[in-house]
Amino acid sequence: MMQRQTLAMLDPALARRHVMTALLTSLLIGAVNPAYALSPNAPASRITPIVRAVDRVKSATVNIHSEKLAKQTDSLFSTNKDRKINGMGTGIIIDERGYIVTNHHVVNGVDSLRVTLVDGASYMARVVSFDSKHDLAIIKIDPNQKLDLMVMGTSSDLMLGEDVLAIGNAFGYEHTVTRGIISALSRDVEVNEEQAYENLIQIDAAINPGNSGGPLLNRDGEVIGINVAIRAGAQKIGFAIPIDDARKIIARLLNIERLDNNFHGLQARDFKQGKERRLIVSTTSPGSPAALAGMSQGDVIEKVDTVNVVDMADFERGLLGHRGGEAVNVIVRRGEEQKSLQLKIASMNRRNTSIASRQAVQQSFTQPPANSAETTKSSWSLLGLRLQPLAANERSKVNPRYRGGMKVTSVRHQSPASKNGIREGDVLVGLHVWETITPENIDFVIAHPQLTTFNPLKFYILRGKETLYGYLQVSDR
């Protein structure tokens, strides 16, 4: 009988079954300790490329500890109290202000997150955005100083047999370093019925529960992947998301539209072939800040504010945190000439955006007509959501930047909503460029004749005090 090969995301539950294995692994492999790194008394012959690579990035790798409460299901010993579950993972610092990328499954559904740096400093963290389909999330801490950034490499020139290093919170043993080679490229693997990955790097470096979200490095200490999964029951078979693929998702997760309520109107493409890495302007939305700044197709963006730009994630990071209306200096190369442009960030106006500006910007969302036509498919069949308008007392608790929303009362298993992490109790506040306050607003979007051109359909939800977004892959009607 054919059996499906099963893989496992680096689930902290596995740690409880392998504590002794972890102890032996830690003793054999060792953990990074800043007190021992590049000791001035160490002979030069011992400071190998591996030692230098680890020293180069250890301060940009963080350990993540999580807590969540689960209902007590053991009827014999039930005390009607929730049971606390501890989890673990790893993260990579991508911005000195405290933005960290990790796997979505590390932070999904947790009640609290704590991040520990290599020097022992500890901070509470919050989730700011995520993409459950690609299993990536951005979390944020508020450090009291600028943080060191991970050294970014590229996955465009990886070689079979190439040496790699992994750093992670293996079984809770913080900053554990393991070494191996690239075993295969472009692996498509399935973890379970709800999570599958494409184009992964296969490695034989020891990867354990707690390594999720940690960096996969080359011998130069550049991150080339994000560790994500292991082959259940196997030895030395682990997988990582190629960093070039991850950076495209990170750019979306750091988008200033979502995080700052601003927009720029730039569309650009990452070009990465080995050491050649640059961000090239594809087009700008008419009347957008990028267009008004004078950006042209073919321009190579080199710097935004103080951020040196290699890809779209850098561009978004350079604009992140600036206020609407603020002018930001952008350096581009046009042919052989370097130009300094002023990009004036625009603030989204969700209440009074005209149809013309909405088509030009393709970013902000406003209220669709309340008397829209009946939809040919319900939100349940198309999206997998049952929704109801917020009650008056619930609307008063919604973030004041929104005028209301639709409360999620049920999520259909294996639906687009379920696969993207939406859950009961979330408040849907927007689809594509429109706010969702009434059932008619929902009907307007899913009955829209151009719905397929919106695919994947962007959604915006409130979960407690957090505003999150993602993308729903909807089928043709």
Annotated catalytic residue, options 132, 155, 212, 379: 212
Look up residue 173 and give its two tokens: 């043993």
The DSSP call for residue 44 is G
Annotated catalytic residue, options 95, 131, 135, 299: 135
In b/e form, how buried is each residue of 97-118, taking b as 16+ CB within 10 angstroms?
A: ebbbbbbbbbbbebeebebbbb
Catalytic residue list contains 212: yes
- 403 closest CA partner among 365, 451, 360: 365
Q: Are 405 and 437 in contact (CB under 8 A)?
A: yes
Annotated catalytic residue, options 59, 95, 104, 105: 105
Would you state the torsion angle of the CA atoms of residues 440, 444, 447, 449, taken in this order, to the nearest 10 degrees? 160
One-letter amino acid of 227: N
Place of tokens 């990028």: 290
- Long-range contacts, stretch 373-380, CB < 8 angstroms, 24+ apart: 373/443, 373/444, 373/447, 374/443, 374/447, 375/442, 375/443, 375/446, 375/447, 376/447, 376/477, 377/446, 377/447, 377/477, 378/446, 379/442, 379/446, 380/410, 380/412
Catalytic residue list contains 135: yes
- So which residues are the catalytic ones? 105, 135, 212
